[in-house]
Amino acid sequence: MQLVIDSLSKTYPNGVRALDKVSLTLTNGMFGLLGPNGAGKSSLMRTIATLQEADSGSVHLDDLDVLKNKDRVRQLLGYLPQEFGVYPRISAEQMLDHIARLKGVLQSGERKDLVQELLSKVNLINDRKKKLGTFSGGMKQRFGIAQALIGSPRLIIVDEPTAGLDPAERNRFYNLLSHLGENTIVILSTHIVEDVSTLCSHFAIICLGEVLYNGTPDAAIAGLEGMIYSKSIPAAAIGAYRKDYRVISTQLKSGQLYIRVLQEAAPGDGFRPSTPNLEDVYFSNILTRVPVDTL
């Protein structure tokens, strides 16, 4: 399967340009979307998930025109929104059963098994009779994951799926996703750069509605090979360093400030070469558009 996004643009009524000629091509496997808050990640995902109209551009899933043929897309889709609610007076089991019906799992025995399997996968099996209105944030998020996986979706979109999950849950979820990714397109948006490097075969960095980078994590890191240098400096000196170097990240630790800079050649001045990581890729790209001050 292939998802081709071509020159997708969207401007909100308040003038915010959420998507600016976004073009991406995705294939089976996990695709990570990185970007600061308000970059347009959610707008992009909502547009693909048929929840939002685009002003221009196109999205195709193989031959399927996603923007026009929404009903068909929805039949292939598993979507976990960044933020969502539930019917407060319906139980988790009943709600999953309901969604499974809507997702076309009409054979009742099959559906029942599926719901039980999902409930145990997300460890809600003991809470299955509880009303969703009584669920905690983490439970709700796990419910959200379960519903997104119903009906063998071919395109899974998960928008910051690990919010509200503890580290163990987060890892289990990623493992689950990796299993799915083999014959499915999974689009994952996250703030956590590390997640992308460990999980995703491809990723893109979006900022202010524009795609700044698109490729594999390894290639992205390789591209910075030999260009990242780090140094520990007094915190007060940062102003001067900003003037002279492209500081891409800073980290304050016990009164000392560790900075990382992007330079074509070794800057000397006490800087030591450092192994580039995906975070460097992220910051170096973002910095071209917006100031990033991690202090």
Partner 1 sequence: MFPQLFLFELKYRLKRPAAYLYFGFFFFVAFMGFANGALPVQENEFYNAPAMLALYAGMVGIFMMLPSSAIMGTPLYRDIEHNTKDYYLSYPITKAGYFWGRFWGSFVFVLLIGSSVFLGAWAGTLGGPFFGWSGKEHYQSFHFYHYLYPYLTILLPDLFFMSALFFGLVAVFRNVKVIYSSALLLFLGYLISNFFLHNVNNPTVIYLWDPFAFTPLRMITGPMSPATMNGSLILVRGLLLENRILWTSIGAVILLGTYLRFSFGRFFGGQSRRRWGHSLRQVKTLNAGGSLRTVSAGVGGGLRQGSLRQVKTLFTGGYSRKVLYTLTRIEILNIIRDNYFWIIMAGGLSFLGFLFWSSFSPYDVPDLPRSSFFMAAYMDQFGFFLFFILMFYTGETVHRERLTRYAFINDSLPPPNWVLGTAKVFSLLVLAIFFAVVPMVLGLAIQLLKGYHQFAFPVYFTNLFVLILPKLVEMVLFCYAVQIVAGNKFAGYAIGILLWVFLWVVDDQGYFTYLLLLYGSAPYAFVSDMDLAGHMLKPLLWFHGYWLLAGGCLLVLASLFFIRGTSSHFTERLRLVRERYRGRLRLGSLVLLAGYLAIGIYIYYNVSVMNFYLTNHERDQRKVLMEKELKHFEPLPVPTVVRLRLQAELFPEKQEQSTHAWITLRNDERVPIDTLLLDKDNIEDYTLKISGRVLPYRSPLSYPGGKFNFLRPARDSSDYRLYVLRTPLLPGDTTLVELQSRIVNLGFRNESYGHSMLYNGTVYEGGLPGAGYDDGDELRNNEKRKGYGLPPRIDPVILHNDPDGMRHLDAGNTSSLTPIDITVGTSGDQWAVGPGRLEKEWMENGRHYFHYVQQEPGIYPPFMIFSARYARRQDTVAFAHFPPVRVTLFYHPAHSANLDRLMAANKDGLRYMSEHFGPYPSGDFSFAESPVYAPNYLSFPGGTAFSEHFGWNAHFTGPKQTDYLYYKATEMLAHQWWEQQVAPNHTMGSSVISKGLSQYIALLLVEKKYGKEMLTDLRTREQYGYLFYHRRESRREHPLLYARDDNESGAKTAIVLYGLQDLIGQDSLTTALKEFHDAWAFRRYPPYAGSEDLYRVLQKHVPDSFRYYLTDTWEKVCFYDNNIVEARTEPAAAGSYRLTVKVFINKVYYDSAKQEHPATGMKDYIDLGVYGEQHKELYLEKLLFSEGEHTIELLVPGKPVSVAIDPERKLMDRLPEDNRRMLIPKS
Instruction: Name which of 102 and 290 has its Cβ closer to partner 1.
Output: 102
Residue 285 tokens read as 């790209």
The verdict on 229 binding partner 1 (CB under 8 A) reads no
- DSSP tag of 293: -
Question: Should residue 225 be labelled a site residue for partner 1 when binding is judged by CB under 8 A?
Answer: no
d(CA 185, CA 31): 7
Strand 155-159 and strand 185-190: the pairing is: parallel
Distance in angstroms (rounded) separating the CA atoms of residues 183 and 160: 21
What minimum distance in Å lies between the beta carbon of 88 and partner 1?
7
- Among 17, 60, 172, 191, which residue interacts with partner 1 (rule: CB under 8 A)? 172
> Considering only residues 255-274, where is the footprint of partner 1 by CB under 8 A?
none
Q: Which of 97, 85, 41, 50 is nearest to 71 (CA)?
A: 50
Instruction: Give the x-and-dash track for 179-198 against partner 1 (CB under 8 A).
Output: xx------------------
Is residue 253 part of the contact set for partner 1 (CB under 8 A)? no
The distance of closest approach from Cβ of residue 59 to partner 1 in the complex, given in angstroms and rounded to an integer, is 14
Q: Which residues contact 121 (CB under 8 A, 6 or more apart)?
A: 146, 149, 176
Rounded Cα gap, residues 204 and 222, in angstroms: 15
Q: How many residues does the chain have?
A: 295
Shortest reach from residue 131's CB to partner 1, in Å: 8
> Which residue has 């089976």 as its token pair?
28
Q: In the complex with partner 1, which residue's Cβ is closer, 195 or 280?
A: 195
| Residues of this chain, 100-119, that bind partner 1 according to CB under 8 A | 101-107, 110-111, 113-114, 117-118
Residue 74 near residue 151 (C-beta atoms within 8 A)? no
Q: Determine, following the binding rule CB under 8 A, whether residue 149 of this chain makes contact with partner 1.
A: yes
Cβ neighbours, 10 Å, residue 18 = 24
Tokens in use for 174? Answer: 């990623």
Burial of 201 (0-12, 13-18, 19+ CB in 10 A): middle
Site string for partner 1, 59-78 (x = CB under 8 A): ------------x--xx-x-
Choice from 4, 23, 29, 98 touching partner 1 (CB under 8 A): 98
- Which of these segments, 129-137, 227-235, 238-246, 252-260, binds partner 1 (CB under 8 A)? 129-137
Contacts with partner 1 by CB under 8 A lie at 13, 46, 49-53, 71, 74-75, 77, 79-81, 83-90, 98-99, 101-107, 110-111, 113-114, 117-118, 120-123, 133-139, 142, 144-145, 147, 149, 151-152, 165-169, 171-173, 175-176, 179-180
